[in-house]
Amino acid sequence: MSLLRIRFISYRELCELGVALRISPVITRPYHVYLFKNFIEEIEKKGHEVLTFSMKNDLTDDLLKNLKIPNKKYGQHLSYPLSEIIGPFYDRCSLLNKINGFDPDLLLSVNNLPLAPLSSLLDTPAVVFLELKPNRKNEHLIFNHASKIVTPDCYHSDIPKEKHLSHASYHSLAYLHPNRFTPDDEFLDKMDLGSEDYVMVSFSKRTSHDLDMKRPKLQRREMIDLVRTLDNHCRVFIDDRGRVPEPLKEYEPSIPYHKYLDLMAKSELVIGDNPITSSEAGVLGIPWIYISDSLPYTLEDQEVHYEIGTHVHDVEDGEELAEMILTGEIEPDLETSRKKILKDKTDLTSWMLTLVQAMKKFNYIK
């Protein structure tokens, strides 16, 4: 029976199957914590056990701690010569050891398969939630070693048919769907922003080592020029979860990492070269400007079908468009765009929960 019919299965049926599942999301980027947090909370309520694995990262560690998500660390930063060669293999061996210690029934990851190719040593299905197109090396590992590859239905690259599942959603809707997120107005009131307009700027840390990128990230001078230009029109907050050049440190908000989404939810505009924050802005009904030579499939979907954001190729075009939005020369119909997104797209957390129960019911998970 096709997994596309999974939404018709109840959780009661899953519980009647008997043994609780052990599930391990492997977290390699801070935003993966957001992606899995509601899934983890809901699946634990059903009596299943979850243990996440991640490498040491201050932002990831802070989010895991504040959200009280069970976690174990793997790998370490090696400082001796040849660490770039030895490090990745050591990290995979460390992860394999930790996973064997927990013995999960299912592995989950986002945009990569951290254990590959050592995942072939396990008899554990691995599901990869793919939204950003990986570089050729990572794509090869995912295609060859993942058990299932899950993408948004707007993801147009070829995926092995026997492994492919798709959903009508975005990763950001796993944690920003109205079922899952309401801005913390009390926290924002404490920031004493009043009625002051502000813009969020976010610069990506990702590189061609992770993704299929045509050009390098924005350069330091471009980043500084963009922020200084925006500062002439309204208050600017720069997302310090990404790259922040030293001269722009003054624009970092003094807030906990897990409160950034609350701050973003009330902004007038999100701009930069970070595809994650752009997608988050879109589902929150905030216009975004994404500066890059290439455009991820989810942002293309938001731009073409919902007119909530705009892709530009250089900083100068981004600055000009931002000025037009902030001065009211362009007034996007944001309410209509967001309503249409929420009408067409599903709560991804609910979809993930149903996927797991279907895999169990049809004996895909042993």
DSSP secondary structure letters along 49-111: EE-EEE---HHHHHHHHHTT--EEE------STTHHHHHHHHHHHHHHHHHHHH--SEEEEES
Give the dihedral sign, CA 216/219/225/228: positive
Q: What percent of the chain has pLDDT over 90?
A: 76
Q: What is the pLDDT of residue 7?
A: 44
Structural domains in the chain?
Answer: 3-177+347-361 (3.40.50.2000), 185-344 (3.40.50.2000)
CA distances in angstroms from 356 to 99, 119, 177, listed in the order given:
19, 19, 20
Angle at 221 between CA 133 and CA 320, to 5 degrees: 75
Tokens found for residue 296: 């991820």
Residues 130, 144: Cα–Cα separation, whole Å: 14
Element (H, E) at 302: helix 297-306
Tokens found for residue 182: 């309401």
pLDDT of residue 43 exceeding 70, the answer is: yes
- Give me the long-range contacts of 120-126 (CB less than 8 A, separation at least 24): 120/145, 121/96, 122/96, 123/366, 124/99, 125/359, 125/364, 125/365
**Average pLDDT of span 148-153:** 97
Higher pLDDT, 192 or 178: 178
Residues 19, 40: Cα–Cα separation, whole Å: 18
pLDDT-based confidence at residue 82 (cuts at 50, 70, 90): low
pLDDT tens, 333-345? 999 999 999 999 9
* Nearest C-alpha neighbor of 358 from the set 169, 174, 150: 150
Q: What is the pLDDT of residue 196?
A: 85
Range scoring the smallest mean pLDDT among 21-30, 68-77, 229-238, 267-276: 68-77
pLDDT of residue 122 exceeding 90, the answer is: no
pLDDT-based confidence at residue 77 (cuts at 50, 70, 90): low
Q: What is the pLDDT of residue 353?
A: 96
**Average pLDDT of span 45-65:** 94
pLDDT-based confidence at residue 6 (cuts at 50, 70, 90): very low
pLDDT tens, 187-229? 988 888 878 899 999 999 865 445 545 555 789 999 999 999 9
pLDDT tens, 23-42? 999 999 999 999 999 999 99
pLDDT of residue 275 exceeding 60, the answer is: yes
Tokens found for residue 234: 């309204």
Q: What is the pLDDT of residue 141?
A: 94
Higher pLDDT, 72 or 365: 72
